[in-house]
Structure 1
């Protein structure tokens, strides 16, 4: 448990005060083996932690913090299927979705998962082979996933990341209840060759059902018969009866289980769009990569455990360096949606103010996650990373090679990749080194600027440096490596929740907005009197005035 009055806490306070006076470069001077000591490899990934503002003594105490929170017991409880989501009385077993080795006590769940994967494989083959036909007997060319949150962000991110593996089927994702999202997608499609995947565990999610109903009207207007729904809609849901009422055949409803949280569900049938886009073997490889990271997390000593090290470093910055945000910067175009995905994973899991016992958390919990792909971010927010008043820890994610593409020859592509890698490495180095006043003055003088003016300008070019970063590399962005990367962040988030003594697997803050929406919507669409706060009442009236 994270307790401010513990000896470990007081030791970490002292380590932060000490390390705040030590430049990161000096840590390398003091330890010739620092690079080797602060590196970790697992499941095809390599993490370099050596640019962080920690030394061996501080890291050992951070590991003690994890041990004092009973991390190992909590980790094992999760993997063994104990109820650790106490507020909802649920198991947390997304790891079972990718476990290919027999579990000693959860084999019955593995059987359910295996049967679902077999059904997915049969369905994907029917689409890819052209055996599945629409209302006009044409094969399917486009698939639209209609979902939101975990039913959208994960499949979309993975499908984009694995673009080089995609087959002949085109994937589209609709999540926003703003009609423009669905309209722009449907404008490009032919109803006769379009399949919709409606992803909603309860089949009651308002945004998803609104979009699904509108999509069904669009389809039926072209087909002219209600029977077309069964040929153009499938569902991923635990609410079979509701999906059947919508018009979806029971055989085309893929299951979800209450032991799988939405933001951890891409490994389940929620990942059907991934399999449709890339093929079932690629989906299986994604699962295998995640399982490899699961095995590392479950067995590696804490001091050599990649998710654990990432987690405790994050806690050091949040609770002892008072860093409120964390940037995730993938240097891969294919990972363009990765940061957005991790935003939900981290912020919905650990954005909590209440400890497991129902009391207030004893300190700050989840950070604000943000970022953008490199090199784009270098020309926008990196200015703040280098010279801003706030310290922002950074994760750089870097595939060292890139898949071949038809439009660019191999040598030219290597040249692009070398530039990309050079930019990534230079950013992490620049964050660490910074630039002193002496260096800035010297640069101005080399430009021919007189001494007095160089002295006056130098402060504007100074950068404090000592900004911490992790660099995660992999040989290439394969399905296996992507699976391992996602699982790495899942486990990091769990470790932090265990130390903070919060529940990472509920999301009551999401529910409040839904409840209030159900109160406001009828007022917008009827003459019912407004009975809310003055600000909301005035905004409702503005909406009504706009629609008179």
Structure 2
């Protein structure tokens, strides 16, 4: 994909400047008035797909803005980038890799070969191994070192090796299969591993070590501690036996897993063309298949593949991920709204905001364009949120009456995941009402009428009215699933994946690298030994103080023994 085919700096294009002017104009326009001016707005600004309805009519734009945004997408070469993405071109250019997570779920139009090997064939083979393992586990044919059947599985992973699988399992709680419990440990803080292991039987616990490189510090530290836990419970068993019977690895580095001691037949693979935050469709999804059954895992993949086809084939103006991406560009980059809320009105989706926070912010949190130049404009919003009803009693006050505008995604389902009468209607009524309230607000005249009807004096009405006014004009999308099922969940997650990619293309950034994550890891590796040694020469004053305080409180050193150290000058400051 060559940017030279399209505008080399999208922010200098005529359509970019036109959208900047449109943004100033739109800020003067009442969002609620759009419906009065355009009776067909709700249907015209909605897309109905097999698994859900996307209603984007409560957004701060008209047809002219939408046409201009689509023009911007074409100016940025989105259609060509989309084609290159599905064709396996190395669109992750800073790492020289293709980006092929759709291949994991059958979402490619045609097979792709990498190094002369069919991607479809290796994915199919690995899925077959995954299915066989899950069947053995559910049948009770897999045992621990003492012969007890495996009853509990602990997934050790962080980032995409944890968030994706746990989000899916929580979302599919109504679709769980078998009696094997799945637990997650992602934090290197030993308190989490300690808490999880406290209720487990060492003889019947299996560990899945999920790490792309099998060198991730947090994950490997937890893996070594898990092995020690087993060894304390079974001093008669060798480490080789425990690793062979009660450890499984999921990695793109099988040799490293085998060196750690995991048996080759217990190593499940994914590939370097799968980004961690897009990996739940691969062997990283083994915990999902264990918790929900392989058939439901396959349905999850099929739902995602259906969204792949929609994104690949639908014209931009009728393409759900593209529309959502353009709305995000419109708000963050042109309207100046730096945050976006994800508000699921479905308890089972309670982890979705955290999952999408990683997927979006780790992808598009960039300040350099594909040419290596500073972009000069915001590239992606801060993603945050939580389940809707809880949020209503927490931060919705900010959404409604803060001067800040936070666009939001409301997500719910028509069909409840339970059999309790009356609950779901209250839930959906709240979801619909909140999006309506954010859009319309309440003006001073309406507040005054309400207070007058309650019998308040004119003096009291005048005093209270400013506090009860809601300005409205707060935009939102509503995604209404027919039901929350493995298939619809797959489609929903893939919708956001493709939205993130399309947004990055339009803004001329690389969405699939994550160099910002590496800096802190490298510094942590250098500082860790200094907590013990106290050799702090060259560190800044704050870091010196923090480590010295740690060493003093832990008894590693007394104040009188603290050495004189040379403190590095802050970067860019003259001595």
Is 2:201 aligned against 1:216?
no
Query: TM-score, normalization: structure 1?
Result: 0.97
Quick check: 2:172–2:292 contact (8 Å CA) kept in 1?
yes
- Residue number among 545, 548, 551 corresponding to 1:541 in the alignment: 548
Which residue does 1:65 correspond to in 2?
72
How far residue 320 of structure 1 moved from its aligned partner, in angstroms, is 1.6
- By how many angstroms is 1:14 displaced? 2.4
| Paired residue secondary structure (2:154) | strand
Q: Find the counterpart in structure 2 of residue 255 from structure 1.
A: 269
Q: Aligned to 1:332, which of 346, 360, 369?
A: 346
Is the CA contact (8 Å cut-off) linking 2:407 and 2:475 kept in structure 1? yes
Are residues 1:86 and 2:93 paired?
yes
Q: Distance in 2 between matches of 1:475 and 1:245?
A: 47
Partner of 2:119: 109
Secondary structure of 1:354 counterpart = coil
Deviation at 1:169, TM superposition (A): 1.1
Q: Which of 323, 329, 342 is matched with 2:337 structurally?
A: 323
Q: Where does structure 2 lack aligned partners over 5 or more consecutive residues?
A: 1-6, 556-575
Give the TM-score taking structure 2 as reference length.
0.92
- Does 1:137 pair with 2:147? yes
Counterpart-to-counterpart distance in 2, 1:529 and 1:361: 37
* Greater mean deviation of Cα atoms: 163-172 or 113-122: 163-172
Change (3 A) 1:43 1:540: farther
Consecutive unaligned residues in structure 1, runs of 5 or more: 405-409
SS at match of 2:483: coil
Instruction: Provide the C-alpha distance between the structure 2 equivalents of 1:34 and 1:4, rounded to a whole number of angstroms.
Output: 30
Instruction: Return the alpha-carbon distance in structure 1 between the equivalents of residues 112 and 537 of structure 2.
Output: 54
Match of residue 36, structure 1, among 43, 48, 51: 43
| 1:175 alignment partner, one of 157, 163, 186 | 186
2:465 is matched with 458
User: Which residue, out of 391, 403, 412, partners 1:389?
Assistant: 403
- Quick one: distance in 1 between partners of 2:24 and 2:541? 48
Q: CA offsets, 1:324-381, max 9 Å, x none?
A: 0000000000001000000000000000000111111131111100001010000010
Residue 324 of structure 2 corresponds to which residue in structure 1? 310
Please give the root-mean-square deviation of Cα atoms over the aligned residues, in Å. Answer: 1.2
Alignment partners' CA distance in 1, 2:262 and 2:352: 32
- SS of the residue aligned with 2:182? strand
Against the structure 1 CA distance between its residues 104 and 528, is the aligned structure 2 distance closer, same or farther, given a 3 Å change threshold?
closer
Query: 1:100/1:486 Cα in 2 relative to 1: closer, same or farther (>3 Å)?
Result: closer
Does residue 1:238 correspond to 2:248, yes or no?
A: no
Q: Distance in 2 between matches of 1:335 and 1:388?
A: 26
User: In the alignment, is residue 22 of structure 1 matched against residue 52 of structure 2?
Assistant: no
1:497 aligned onto 2:512: no
Contact 1:327 1:393 in 2 (8 A): yes
In the other structure, the counterpart of 1:280 is: 294
**533 and 94 in structure 1: CA distance in 2 versus 1, 3 angstrom threshold:** same
2:61 — aligned with what? 54
Mapped to 2, the partners of 1:113 and 1:182 lie a distance apart of: 32
1:246 positional shift: 1.9
Query: Is 1:364–2:378 an aligned residue pair?
Result: yes
Alpha-carbon separation, structure 2, partners of 1:391 and 1:95? 34
For 1:305 and 1:241, the matched residues in 2 are separated by 42
Q: Is the aligned partner of 1:515 residue 2:551?
A: no
In structure 1, the partner of 2:389 is 375
State yes or no: 1:204 paired with 2:215: yes
* Greater mean alpha carbon deviation, residues 238-247 or residues 118-127: 238-247
The CA deviation at 1:237 is 1.0
Q: What is residue 191 of structure 1 aligned with on the other side? A: 202
Offset of residue 448 of structure 1: 2.1
Which residue number corresponds to residue 358 of structure 2?
344
Alpha-carbon shift at residue 531 of structure 1 (Å): 2.8
Deviation at 1:104, TM superposition (A): 4.3
Judge conservation of contact 2:107–2:304 (CA < 8 Å) in 1.
Answer: no
Deviation sequence 1:104-125 (CA, Å, 0-9, x none)? 4448111000000000000001
**Structure 1 counterpart of 2:434:** 427
Deviation at 1:500, TM superposition (A): 0.8
8 Å Cα contact 2:34/2:62 also seen in 1: yes
Please say if residues 47 and 471 of structure 1, whose CA atoms lie closer than 8 Å, have aligned partners that are also in contact.
yes
Residue pair 1:3, 1:362 contacting (<8 A) in 2 also: no
Q: Secondary structure at the match of 2:212?
A: coil
**Are the counterparts in 1 of residues 331 and 407 from structure 2 also a CA contact under 8 Å?**
yes
1:375-397, Cα deviation, whole Å (9 max, x unpaired): 00000100010000110000000
Displaced runs of 4 or more, over 6 A: none
Q: Tell me, in whole angstroms, the C-alpha distance in 1 between the residues paired with 2:245 and 2:448.
A: 71
In the alignment, is the contact (CA less than 8 A) between 1:220 and 1:229 conserved in 2?
no
